[in-house]
Structure 1
């Protein structure tokens, strides 16, 4: 994102052929429409007392106009207009307007800034450009000194801070009704602080639509939402302006008599500017994106505030409870909202408790749902069908007459059932009492109930349990449920999740054996619940379809979460089970491509990736792959072979110097996890290492040099094997004056030279001197000298040890 710039002032040189007010300079892409908009916003009149300001001190006292106007197409124009006194002809009245314009969303792409936070930003200038073309500015723009903290400090110190709720309410009204709010204060800096406080308290989507100007000499000539001015200007508000302009004169202490203040406004100001940004970030989790009016925002903000520990008023609580039944977008969070309200407010009435109970149930909080249900009046539970609480369940009726009466009663109550649960209980009663209603009636009622249940949402635990019992005890209902599921698929598309929903989950493969389409959707739901079975279920679906290869739709339907992709293990199993002598759908090639190229997270993943690559090279399978995927597989296996069969370290490093290392995940993982350990196990050709270390790349060279150094340090008192000896020789022999190395690596080489010279045994130093001679006679001589010195010190030490050995005392005569 970048911002087009425009400079507008009275000058001699600019886009106009003559001197005067004109655009001094603009960015290349600025349109005529943008210039026209900026020219209309850039006008400036200083207060009369400051009109002849021409010293820096007087000019600094002139009001500054930071003006911001979003446009309906999504762009935004922002200007900083400063009074500069005289123009080139020495006439007073000149001003300089520096404008920014962007065609996209202003706030999100500019680093999260609100437009008012550009107040006193270092981005603004008042200097005429030497050329007529100036560059665009990249985002993010540097913010000025305004922040929630500074706005809070300003409010605490202002004598009229209690007017903030009325000011915020007036701005809400201006946004809704295209009105204007005028703020008068002693300086434009104070006005900017008022604007900042309002901007922070507004819902972020509304704050981005707020237009404002921190200073206008004649406010009545503007229809911006927020307009600032100072006492020395000319407000000129007449009787006809009362409906269009709401004036807050903080300088004179004059304010509107009555400003309707919504409960949301009171809640926002009670939260305060300092804490509101956290609440807005929480509120985003409670909104559905269609909030417009004050009432739309009240409940989400109150719910977020309650979660953060803010005390709610009765009006806030009513708003949240009234909102919960329709807040299906919350999902499980609906139960969390109910818990926040319930745990902090214990004086709710039954209707409110019932609403919270429903929210807890649909949100999945069974414990809270049961707790709330226990507080409701016991009259909610009256009878098994229409009786009292804890009424006994049905018992078998054996007498023919009684059975006949019971059947008649049952049929009569069918028409009185108010909901699916009563219908379920009626059917369970028929089964438990062993009634014998007409088979066609029982079948019809079972099918009607199944249709109703499939079309419902939010079934509670009790109904789920009863329906599950009904499915296992009434064959007619079980058959009706399968028929209803088939009807849903036949009548409406997009029902892939049918068998992930209640009560279709109660059906089994046995119920769907004669319905191939239902069976497929059942298996899809099984795959979502049991991801480990997904590959096996894929091939069962292919068998039912009579297909050899899956298509893109089937793959996306089976692998839905967390992203539509195969693991290495899944891709390997699929590759082995697909017939290698037959072509596959284009989607399969795409999924294999994604599987091969997915990021390798650890060594275990790398092993699985290598198994997949090896599997895909089998005859016939490589034909499934795209050319670039085949190349990736081939390169991966070649590098794996090189790791296992290499005999010299620098040759192995050279094998990994291919462009695909950075482009493909598998080769990159081989380099990351296995290259350095493999090189450290191999001898090195010093002649190659001393010249090729610069081509290793920083990470590999750093790891190799540090590992060789550490190994040399730990071998001080032991035997230096041939592999380590060759590695140390190669590192010491590096001519870092010719081979460009980072300073850190030069220090490692120097450190290794010092350490071996000071700590290695004579024998190893002597070997090292001989090994270094073909590459550097100077180094060889130095190490030979160190070896000779070490040998001399050893001889002296042995001589001293012999002299210090205690005497055995005088020997006896003849001894």
Structure 2
């Protein structure tokens, strides 16, 4: 049983000091000197100035009463009731009587369950000195005063500033955490005590027992208690330095702090109300772990207890409980009960919150609730994924057979809710990702139905295309259904040859079409359009499926659609090599070879490919299949190519290219354009033929040839016999027989001048000898140039030999 030591402190004639004055009038036997010192420090009292000379009983009754309580930091609580007594025995004003109680424990249920503030106006308090210096201890329970939760609730309902209670409670929470002080000003200390009672009831009981307070102090700024009361007559003053340490609520004047942060716990407690909160605190004890300190610590267990008591929670309260549940292992089986309370009263939770409740139900051993929540969670997740809710999580594998069975049943129900093809695709993806086990016939039927719907889809968006592609990769039943749907469309409707080039038939592969030759052919045609480099190979795969040796015109046009229905040289070469040598060939093949041979040759690489094709086509068994005009083109092309490789003299080679087919066919033109001129310059020329036949080269060839000769003659340091033969025939051109163009005559004249001015004498001498059979005068002129140049060289040599060596001792000739 808890005991309370008593102490009387006042100004009297008889007490422990042995003389008159302020002293302990009487104390219990076990009171220590430390306790006396503590009580003496708390017992001081100053009445408001207007009440200092109170003497009559009615005047003294108007004086503020100070109920003061301090919990001991090292154990033991001290509570005092201090009243103004007016005059002392010497008839001097300023006396007061303090009755103090001290207990080694604290105000706990063992002490009767009362809070220190409930001793306000209790009959336990004495107001007169004792006749002896020793007074007995009191035992619990102590007599309560008139303050109760009901009376405090009635006080709040009548007070005009009751709406300040949340701010006041928040300020007290802060004061407890930061060792600050809250000052309450009201007209009477009885009203102040009611405010203190409201706060004490709403505080968590462990925190309420640590609250220090005084219902009246004349100078609040001199105290560091948590709650300090005073009356307007005291005219309390707080300096600028006190603003951070003291939060003032002046209920008398209606002046309050501008902003006091209010935690959701405060809102919950004040919504519960002082009249009902004690029951909630008794429930809350079953949800706490004993280490709660801050409002954030207390909020979840209070909210959980409140929910269990049938009181509605706000969204903020629910979030607090859900954030707290995963770590609330101390609840044990009660964890599932909390999850049930939240689930049954809050049906609009999101998936994350449902997952938290499900885990709590499982941890608490409530299998039925866990399964119910898992079902709801699966349904929510599947529906969100199916309807493309942004951020919706994808499926995760279900490892437990029972879970898979329940999820499969749910999945089957949701099939009826799918509003479009994309939702059905996503449902099938969910089934695969979650490892569901729907009946095979249902899966096959759904896949076929979806495939039919998708084949009629036009303008499918990126999301549907990507997801359908993923479904085709992971679900064989869908690919089989898609192949069946494509086959049915091709069988029922004509003009669908390009179906495999459209979404989603392009998702099928060869393995999906085995045993369906018609589908394979259409598939390969579509593949040829997407991958032109494979067209020849795909042609022969189609021929193999058809059991044919040669393609017809329709097949060729179907495979080579873009950019024009024709083979490249390389494709024609490969086809020529792969076609059977002795079997029948459709006449369309000859037409396509003709177009391939005669197509435009652009560049040296294309020319090489064309020559390879021509060489391939002249092989036995192939040549006979060509059209006559194609054979002629191939023959001319190969003959000119052979002339380029086998000619020994330039003009003879040039004469070989003077045939009408040069202008008619691309390959001969390409040989002339790309190869003739370089070969001409590498071969020696017969000047006699060259000077008379150059005009027959044609303007383009003659122009290129003359400029090439000019370039070689003006840039080459060494004049070999091949170059000399070309220069000789060029500058000795027979203007009457060859009749060159004026531009070419200017090139010839420029070349003649350059040679005369820049060639070495020995090269001029060789040129003169070569020219003499064709143009004696021109030969004489170059001979003269050679001699003049040689003469200058000789004269320069004689000058060099006549110069005196630097070490010659003879005097310099004047």
Structure 1 CA distance for aligned equivalents of residues 620 and 426 of structure 2: 61
Aligned to 1:105: none
8 A Cα contact 1:660 1:667, kept in partner = yes
Contact 2:696 2:738 in 1 (8 A): no
SS in structure 1 of the partner of residue 597 of structure 2? helix
Q: Residues 626-655 of structure 1, C-alpha deviation per residue, up to 9 Å, x if partnerless?
A: 111111111001001101111111111110
2:602 aligned with 1:601: yes
Once the two structures are superposed, what CA deviation does each residue of 1:736-760 show, in whole Å capped at 9, x if it has no partner?
2443111111011112222222222
- Offset at residue 400 of structure 1 (A): 7.4
For residue 391 of structure 2, give the secondary structure of its aligned residue in structure 1.
Answer: coil
Question: Could you give the per-residue CA deviations for residues 63-110 of structure 1, whole angstroms, max 9, x where no partner exists?
Answer: xxxxxxxxxxxxxxxxxxxxxxxxxxxxxxxxxxxxxxxxxxxxxxxx
Cα deviations by residue, 1:168-218 (Å, 9 ceiling, x for unpaired): xxxxxxxxxxxxxxxxxxxxxxxxxxxxxxxxxxxxxxxxxxxxxxxxxxx
Deviations along 1:266-287, one digit per CA (max 9) or x if unpaired, are: xxxxxxxxxxxxxxxxxxxxxx
Q: 1:388-439: per-residue Cα shift (whole Å, max 9, x none)?
A: 5434444556777776665554444333321101112233334445544444
Instruction: State the distance in 2 between where 1:760 and 1:395 align.
Output: 89
CA distance in 2 between counterparts of 1:493 and 1:679 reads 60
Which residue does 2:766 correspond to in 1? 767
2:411 is equivalent to residue 413 of structure 1: no
What's the CA shift for 1:548? 0.8
In 2 relative to 1, CA 810–528 (structure 1 residues): closer, same or farther, beyond 3 Å? same
1:304-453 → structure 2 map (5 Å cutoff): 383-386=384-387, 389-395=390-396, 406-453=407-454
Residues 692-731 of structure 1: pairs in structure 2 closer than 5 A: 692-715=693-716, 718-731=717-730
Q: 1:752 to 1:389 in 2, by over 3 A?
A: closer
486-495 or 447-456: which moved more?
A: 486-495
Q: Take 2:387 and 2:651, find their aligned partners in 1: how far apart are those partners?
A: 86
* 1:619 Cα deviation after fit: 0.5
Aligned to 2:651: 650
Shift in CA distance, 544/806, structure 1 to aligned 2, threshold 3 Å: same
- CA shift, 1:384, in A, is 1.7
Name the residue aligned to 1:511. 512
Partners of 1:476 and 1:719 in 2: CA distance:
80
Using the alignment, how far apart are the partners of 2:613 and 2:747 within structure 1? 40
> Which residue number in structure 2 is paired with residue 750 of structure 1?
749
Match of 1:783 in 2: 782
Change in 2 beyond 3 A, CA 1:714/1:437 = closer
Cα distance change on mapping 1:559 and 1:388 into 2, 3 Å: closer
Distance 1:403 1:745, change over 3 A: closer
Relative to structure 1, is the Cα distance of residues 454 and 796 closer, same or farther in structure 2, using a 3 angstrom cutoff? same
Displacement of 1:615: 0.6
1:773 Cα deviation after fit = 1.8
Q: Which residues in structure 2 correspond to 1:220-235 (within 5 Å)? A: none
Q: Secondary structure at the match of 1:384?
A: helix
Residues 1:398 and 1:803: Cα distance change in structure 2 (over 3 Å): closer
Quickly say closer, same or farther: Cα 1:773–1:469, change in 2 above 3 A: closer
For 2:739 and 2:388, locate their aligned partners in 1 and report how far apart those are by CA, in whole Å: 92
Question: Equivalents in 1 of 2:397, 2:727: separation in Å?
Answer: 92
Give the alignment's TM-score, normalised by structure 2: 0.50
* 554 and 798 in structure 1: CA distance in 2 versus 1, 3 angstrom threshold: same
State the partner residue of 2:733.
734
In the alignment, the residues of structure 1 paired with residue 388 and residue 579 of structure 2 have an alpha-carbon distance, to the nearest angstrom, of 60
Would you say 1:579 and 2:590 are equivalent positions? Answer: no
Aligned residue number for residue 182 of structure 1: none
- Whole-Å Cα distance in 1 between the matches of residues 388 and 801 of structure 2? 110
Match of 2:797 in 1: 798
Q: Deviations over 1:108-152 (max 9, x none)?
A: xxxxxxxxxxxxxxxxxxxxxxxxxxxxxxxxxxxxxxxxxxxxx
Unpaired segments ≥5 residues, structure 1: 1-378
Query: 1:804, CA displacement in angstroms?
Result: 3.9
Q: Which runs of 5+ in 2 are unaligned?
A: 1-379
Q: Which has the greater radius of gyration?
A: 2
1:552–1:588 Cα contact (<8 Å) kept: yes
Alpha-carbon distance in structure 1 between the residues aligned to 2:723 and 2:398: 92
- Aligned 8 A contact 1:648 1:683 in 2: yes
CA distance in 2, matches of 1:719, 1:430: 84
Q: 1:792 to 1:500 in 2, by over 3 A?
A: same
Q: Distance in 2 between matches of 1:532 and 1:513?
A: 23
Partner of 2:457: 456
Counterpart CA distance in 1 for 2:425 and 2:493 is: 25
What is the TM-score when the length of structure 1 is the normalising length?
A: 0.50
- Greater displacement, 437-446 / 675-684: 437-446
Match of 1:358 in 2: none
Summarize deviations over 1:376-396 as a string: whole Å, max 9, x none: xxx9x9712258543444455
- Structure 1: distance between partners of 2:600 and 2:798: 64
Structure 1 CA distance for aligned equivalents of residues 747 and 414 of structure 2: 91
Provide the C-alpha distance between the structure 1 equivalents of 2:549 and 2:423, rounded to a whole number of angstroms: 48
Partner of 1:496: 497
Query: Post-superposition shift, 1:594?
Result: 1.3
> SS state of the match for residue 565, structure 1?
coil
In the aligned structure 2, how far is the partner of 1:398 from the partner of 1:806?
A: 110
Kept in 1, the 8 Å contact 2:648–2:683? The answer is: yes
Say which is worse superposed, 623-632 or 469-478, in terms of deviation: 469-478
CA distances 1:459-498 after superposition (whole Å, capped 9, x unpaired): 2232223223322333322211110011121122232322
Gap change, CA 1:394 and 1:795, over 3 Å in 2: closer
Equivalent residues of 1:382, 1:389 under 8 A apart: no
Counterpart for residue 468 of structure 2: 467
Aligned residue runs from structure 1 range 59-138, under 5 A: none
Contact conserved, 1:642 with 1:652, CA < 8 A, in 2? yes
In structure 2, relative to structure 1, the CA distance for the partners of 1:807 and 1:498 (3 Å cut) is: same
Aligned residues: 431
Aligned pairs (5 A) from 1:268-307:
none
